[in-house]
Amino acid sequence: MLLRDALHSDAPSIAGIWNPIIRNTIVTFNPVERSPDEIVTMIATRQGAGHAFLVAEESGAILGFASYAQFRAGAGYARCMEHTINLSPEARGKGLGLRLLAALEAHAMQAGHHVMVAAITSANSASIGFHTSQGYRHVGTMPQVGWKFGQYHDLTLMQKVLSAG
């Protein structure tokens, strides 16, 4: 399994993983599927800002992707990042999420970032458990901030301090 920087040519594969999650789950509150062109722009923007956008590749197939960007706009948040990790169904439960998260955290620390945030649909107990096992702590719940499938959903915020400084 190779973890590497995403290329623009990976965008269709990334869309193939991301869009069923957007379409069929509340893992993301975004109801609009991502086009390959939007993903190309996202890759370029994040990598251009010095943030990671990674893919996990095995035998030429993309099995997952992970990225981070600044948590909120403005210079005061310049060292606080938020990540996303998405895996294809066949890649789940095999430790790939752990490898991608570790790679994101290492990249962020090397870039001088201080905090990594996970914003998780509160009903996603697997993701909350995953992040807890990796040293993230619950810092808040925002009730009813997400809207999808005709109902409101809560958002759990978790964070991990990456550096001592």
Q: Is residue 154 part of a domain?
A: no
3-state secondary structure 53-89: EEEEEECCEEEEEEEEEECCCCHHHCCEEEEEEEECH
CATH number for 48: 3.40.630.30
In-domain check, residue 18 = yes
Q: What is the pLDDT of residue 52?
A: 98
Is 93 part of any domain? Answer: yes
Q: What is the pLDDT of residue 163?
A: 83
- The confidence score (pLDDT) of residue 3 equals 97
Rounded CA-CA distance 136/126 in Å is: 13
Q: Return the pLDDT at 129.
A: 97
Is residue 24 situated within a structural domain?
A: yes
List the chain pLDDT tens, one digit each, 165 residues.
Answer: 899 999 999 999 999 999 999 999 999 999 999 999 999 999 999 999 999 999 999 999 999 999 999 999 999 999 999 999 999 999 998 999 999 999 999 999 999 999 999 999 999 999 999 999 999 999 999 999 999 999 999 999 999 999 866
Give the structural domain span for 15: 2-114
- State the Cα–Cα distance between residues 8 and 133, nearest whole angstrom: 32
Mapped onto helix, strand or coil, the DSSP state of residue 7 is coil
Contact of 84 with 97, CB cutoff 8 Å: no
Q: Does 99 map to a domain?
A: yes
Structural domains of the chain, count: 1
**Closest alpha carbon to 47 in 10, 102, 20:** 10
> Quick one: which of 53, 47, 26 has its CA closest to 120?
26
**Residue 24 DSSP SS3:** helix
